[in-house]
Amino acid sequence: MMTENIYGNYGPMDNRYCRNKLKLIASWIPQGLSILDAGGYRGLLELYVHKDFYFVVDKDFKSIIEAKNRGFYAEYGDFDKADFSFVGIWGIKFEVIVAADILDLLLNPSDFIEKIKKAAKPGSLFIFSVTNDNTIYHRLKVLFGFGINKTPFNIHYHLRYPTIRQWRDFISKDFQILKIKQWICFGKEKPKWFDWLCVVLARISPSLFARGEIYLCRQK
Instruction: Work out the burial of residue 201: count CB atoms within 10 Å of its CB; fewer than 13 is exposed, 13-18 middle, 19 or more buried.
Output: middle
Task: Return the CATH number at 54.
Answer: 3.40.50.150
Instruction: Compute the half-sphere exposure of residue 56: CA atoms within 13 Å on the CB side of its CA.
Output: 27
Q: What is the pTM of this model?
A: 0.88
In contact, 50 and 31? CB cutoff 8 Å:
yes
H/E stretch holding 114: helix 109-118
Q: Which domain holds residue 28?
A: 6-219
Q: Where are the beta strands (DSSP E) in 64-174?
A: 73-76, 94-100, 120-131
Question: What amino acid occupies position 183?
Answer: W
pLDDT over 70 at 78, yes or no: yes
Q: Residue 16's Cα: distance from chain center in Å?
A: 16
In contact, 84 and 99? CB cutoff 8 Å:
no
pLDDT, tens digit, 9 for 90 and up, residues 163-197: 999 999 999 999 999 999 999 998 788 999 999 99
In a domain, 131, yes or no: yes
In a domain, 142, yes or no: yes
Please report the pLDDT score of residue 49 as a whole number: 65
Please report the pLDDT score of residue 4 as a whole number: 44
N-terminal to C-terminal alpha carbon distance within the chain: 38
Residue 112 dihedral angles phi and psi, to the nearest 5°: -60, -45
193-205: average pLDDT: 95
Number of domains in the chain: 1
In a domain, 1, yes or no: no
